Structure 1
């Protein structure tokens, strides 16, 4: 299989940059500025240069530049990140070739994954928090299971929200997006926040609410496939922070969200109580969390099969600085429960059908993370997490990471990690099943399996980072080897062909073939990530990233490429501060050739394409900012021709307003 190379993208975007002569924003902090502070890599504050991981930071300024309805659109512009496809809904985020199920999503360090409530095509988890309420997003590429457990086998995305203010302040933001094609659905979003002291310097309150809508497309796709469905999302969040004294802080968080994607509705309620302490010997953090996610409709068109997932977590961390070393200790207990009267009923027609529609699992863990100097500028981080899973026993997830800071400009990082991931509640339950293969009556049926083995991965990376006044960059090379990958792609409605599949179980009484989740022996992802940034005087900045990804299933005698993993992808951003009030921006996103279907008989691929966006913001005053721009400015048409694929929206114009008060 051959792929087109990246130079054509670089040529086109370079010409665009010359022609625009300044269509960009100014002085944005991004993940290459090594003085930026991050917390996700070690659960304590560090600079990017010190952090033992590959991290990109997206800050509030970057988020404010474009009309983002869902963070997936912005995350897809980060090096090492590609977007999965599940039909015309919000795409899923893939880190280094691992799909969204392998990426731990956090909001202020708290899990938000809804995998148990929406088992396939889950496009909900990047949108629980409105973008306008976010302070920054930390994207950690590579396994972080030594700290966060099996959910983080591919990486971690930590959404950090804006903190409560010590004086009363608020914000109102609104954006409208109009389609050039009037048969395509328009969109809008709005959010509001308010924070301040109930008791000065002691008790702070933060409140926020957001809503966004995207109307359904009419007939916009000449191939006969439908366009984008309607999406309707609402959220409300509150936080009460009590500074007990100079050393102790208590915070109570309440989140309530409702996300409706194509009339499949998820409602989420989450509560967290967190204590943070700062002492002479170190610092501590302890939290209790409860999360209820209700799937009001189910996951199969034409059926109504609601379910309810509950997660309860107690976790604690202790950080101890010891001379020139740092020791971090912690533990976690987690219980997951699922109640699904339809999909946990067992096989239709069996003697036990419908007897027990519930399942649950308990896990507990202890972890340690220790960094210390080997030489003056060379530090080694060693860590391990021991997870005990109710169904799979004990597993270790160790890692070792070196960070060498050579002088003021060069940093070299290199690490190895081993990660463990247990099957989800659905994958592991023999009572779980769902219609599939595109039909409720003459399709196929898929079920969970008690015979699944946990997945394990071994990952290696080396990164080179340079930072000089006005310019910098990084180059990272990595390899991930995943064993026993859990898979349900092998299925067919063809009753003659079905028995030849390795995960074929039998037939339902109505004749539909049944397939079970299975383990694939080996999957490998490897590649490279390049990032560059350059300031041209005080007004201009250019940022470029490029990713190379080779993702293959090695389980069979002939290695098979994995779908929706483009080998080449790149992003270019140009920023210009035209004046103290006017900022302009231009960006280009290149997506290389990718396979959309792979079988023993054929491979279907989608050709490479590039999309361009233009925008500006104007500050009417210190508190009022307006913006406008074009998305897909050159009206590039990228349409799906199979139901599992994904359209790229055509040319749109947007207008935005942000008011601080």
Structure 2
């Protein structure tokens, strides 16, 4: 039944049948492979090393996830392709930037242009299409930097993260705009019934003395203020990577060397009060303040949130008020000081009701969100015109209603249907429907598949005709880019089909996916040449000083399809292995012939091995493979494939203190960056780490 259901939807969604035939064939092939593996024991173990019955049951247990639907579910039952990064995963190696750790998840590649902090791309979709959440609350710094999500993965100290849930594929039916590619939900630690504290310090030393070292320090504490009624959690963190010196040699004699990594410095402070006046009701008041410096561009974020979670005879409710302010202290142009400020205030709530007589669980919810940007420089209109500087702010309000129902068609077959209706002040109404099937033909085998439509509204910048910024390589003699109120929202249609095997100590999965993105908002059409400028379709005029002006436009369409493969194996009580592989084919289909999209490696793979020879020791190794990728499309400049390997050892001194150390990038795969569009990997370096719990 699931296959028939998927074929019916896919026929309506995609005009071609090539992907469907390929998906069906691959799925049948996978089922055959998994059937063979099903009957194959895990690697031979000594009898005394075989896991006990209790240990085996622990291996089968899966973490509960909350991001894929309105109802908490295990990973195998979640109506989406979802990965979980656990706290144990985070602690194995020093994590200065969370995006680097996210890059080990299947389906995720990293955009690394110009050595900046890497941005997260899910299934080949640009980083602007990945929605970042902290405890389910949206964070988005695009309005003050307009170039991606590289700031948004780092607003929380790593030491305060309990786990990270990554949904691969669109989730606009629940979360609305920006979730076209997927969702990263960073879930922080709670407060226990007794006081606990933790301290963690990391230091990274570069083998190349010209490269910058790194340090980080974090401290957290939580516990009850009034037993069973009021609890408090506090966290503070600081990390810094020093600026590189002369790490890149000029490509030619007498040439100019490309810069290495610039200074990256982050500070965090957060706290949360947990108030439980009744066993069925909880209030959470959270306060966050962070400062992130990316190579001299500094953003400060301050947020206050209030959550209420209630349990009733008819079901549960969740209401959240979130006030978020992000300030760009420097602006977006190198060498200039043009600060701006964005505010996002939202209220959202949902009620979930089990309808036992109808074999379904129903969730209804609503959200209202108001965004405002004040930018005296870039929201002042066109330089040199009479109205320049008369109005330096813009805002939008949007409302949404959403509904999701999970229907138990059979004991082993569930159908999730959902839709979100968004009413945007400037861009009208949009529906984001979704349908997903989870089928368990056996206790160990799961078949998943679904179809979804998603949308992304233009940002405050893209949609405002008063917003503008210098471009074309010069702040004085280049070109000028502006927003446009004529833009349409971007839309996508996606389909996926996956098979998952969970056989105790062994598990595996394969997922086929395809997405079509329409009306992609682009500013690629622009030139500094005033003679050529009028021939461009998005040319809108000249500034008084003669610079041509170009507006954002809806021109691009992108198709992405591929396969994600995951494997895990508990080889013995001491050895644990995980591996994944992703093939992604991303094409820009806007023109007469399709073109590749930059910074999208077709092939990516990760191998992670843990060895625990005793109660106090743990050894870990990671190997990351990044396939060949295009850096510049028009002249087909490419970066060759490369592999990076890391190792670490950890020793638990006692119940409170753990020491770790290791080598990162053992083979020193740090390419010499010769052009600005290329990027360096950090070279070989040593790290030491100490963590203490008290």
Q: TM-score, normalised by structure 2?
A: 0.89
| Separation of aligned partners in 2, 1:305 and 1:571 | 41
Of 165, 170, 178, the residue aligned with 1:151 is 178
Matched, 1:357 2:392: yes
Structure 2 equivalent of residue 401 of structure 1: 436
**What are the residue-to-residue correspondences of 1:172-571 with 2, within 5 Å?**
172-223=199-250, 224-323=257-356, 324-571=359-606
- Counterpart contact for 1:84–1:564, Cα < 8 Å: yes
Structure 2 CA distance for partners of 1:266 and 1:28, relative to 1, 3 Å: farther
Match of 2:5 in 1: none
1:579 corresponding residue in structure 2: 614
The gaps in structure 2 that reach 5 residues or longer are: 1-50, 251-256
Asked whether the equivalents of residues 255 and 269 of structure 1 are also in contact (C-alpha less than 8 Å), the reply is yes
**Contact (CA 8 Å) 1:42, 1:52: kept in 2 or not?**
yes
**1:637 positional shift:** 2.4
SS of the equivalent of 1:244 reads strand
Q: Does 1:647 align with 2:677?
A: no
**Displacement after TM superposition at 1:28 (Å):** 13
Task: Quote how far apart the aligned CAs of 1:579 are.
Answer: 1.2
* Counterpart residue number, 2:118: 91
CA contact (8 A) 1:28 1:61 kept: no
- SS of the equivalent of 1:72 reads helix
In the TM superposition, residue 121 of structure 1 has moved relative to its aligned partner by 4.9
Instruction: Report the Cα offset of residue 496 of structure 1.
Output: 4.1
Structure 2 CA distance for aligned equivalents of residues 495 and 527 of structure 1 = 42
CA distance in 1, matches of 2:431, 2:528: 40
Which of 29, 35, 42 matches 2:69? 42
Q: State the alpha-carbon separation in 1 of the partners of residues 585 and 645 from structure 2.
A: 25
Measured after TM superposition, the shift of residue 374 of structure 1 is: 1.6
In the alignment, the residues of structure 2 paired with residue 150 and residue 533 of structure 1 have an alpha-carbon distance, to the nearest angstrom, of 34
Query: Contact between 1:590 and 1:608, CA under 8 Å: does it hold in 2?
Result: yes
* Equivalent residue number for residue 198 of structure 2: 171
8 Å contact kept, 1:248–1:276: yes
SS at match of 1:526: strand
Q: Partners of 1:418 and 1:472 in 2: how far apart?
A: 30
Per mean C-alpha deviation after superposition, the further-off stretch among 174-183 and 444-453 is 444-453
Gaps of 5+ in 1: 1-25
- What residue number does 1:589 align with? 624
- Once residues 106 and 630 of structure 1 are traced to their aligned partners in structure 2, the CA distance between those partners, rounded to angstroms, is 32
Paired residues of 2:249 and 2:674 also in contact (CA < 8 A):
no
Conservation of the 8 A alpha-carbon contact between 1:85 and 1:564: yes
Report how many aligned residue pairs link the two structures.
632
How far did residue 638 of structure 1 move? Answer: 1.9
Shift in CA distance, 498/33, structure 1 to aligned 2, threshold 3 Å: farther
3-state SS of the aligned residue for 1:457?
strand
CA distance in 2: counterparts of 1:369 and 1:391, whole angstroms: 26
Could you say what secondary structure the match of 1:117 adopts?
helix
- The answer on whether the counterparts of 1:34 and 1:467 sit within 8 Å (CA) in structure 2 is no
Query: What's the counterpart of residue 23 of structure 2?
Result: none
Aligned 8 A contact 1:639 1:648 in 2:
no
Instruction: Say yes or no: does 1:62 pair with 2:82.
Output: no
CA distance in 2, matches of 1:535, 1:160: 26
The Cα of 1:642 is off from its aligned counterpart by 2.5
Q: Alignment RMSD, CA only?
A: 1.6
In the alignment, the residues of structure 1 paired with residue 678 and residue 344 of structure 2 have an alpha-carbon distance, to the nearest angstrom, of: 32
CA contact (8 A) 1:34 1:48 kept: no
Note if contact 1:34-1:49 (Cα within 8 Å) is conserved in structure 2: no
Shift of 1:122: 4.6
Q: Displacement of 1:183 after TM fit? A: 0.6
The 1-side partners of 2:608 and 2:207 are apart by 24
1:430 partner SS: coil
CA-CA distance at 1:238 after TM superposition = 0.4
Decide whether the 8 Å contact of 1:257 with 1:267 is kept in 2: yes
* CA distance, structure 2, for counterparts of residue 28 and residue 41 of structure 1: 28
Alpha-carbon distance in 2 for matches of 1:69, 1:361? 35
Measured against aligned partners, the alpha-carbon deviations of 1:205-258 in whole angstroms (never above 9, x if no partner) come to 000000000110001011310000001110100000100101111110000001
Structure 1 counterpart SS, 2:622 = strand
Q: Following TM superposition, by how much is the alpha carbon of 1:123 offset from its aligned partner in structure 2, in angstroms?
A: 2.0
Q: Does 1:660 align with 2:693?
A: yes
**Runs of 4 or more off by more than 4 Å in structure 1?**
26-29
Measure how far apart 1:522 and its partner are.
Answer: 1.9
Aligned counterparts of 2:55 and 2:145: Cα–Cα separation in 1: 36
* SS of the residue 1:152 aligns to: coil
Q: Aligned in 2, Cα 1:379/1:34: closer, same or farther, shift over 3 Å?
A: farther
1:21 aligned partner: none
Write the distance in 2 (CA, Å) between the matches of 1:611 and 1:28: 33
TM-score normalized with structure 1 length: 0.94
Contact (CA 8 Å) 2:128, 2:148: kept in 1 or not?
no
Select which of 93, 112, 127 maps to 2:154. 127
Alpha-carbon distance in structure 1 between the residues aligned to 2:318 and 2:55: 31
SS at match of 1:573: strand
Deviation of 1:436 (Å): 1.6
Is 2:147 aligned against 1:112?
A: no
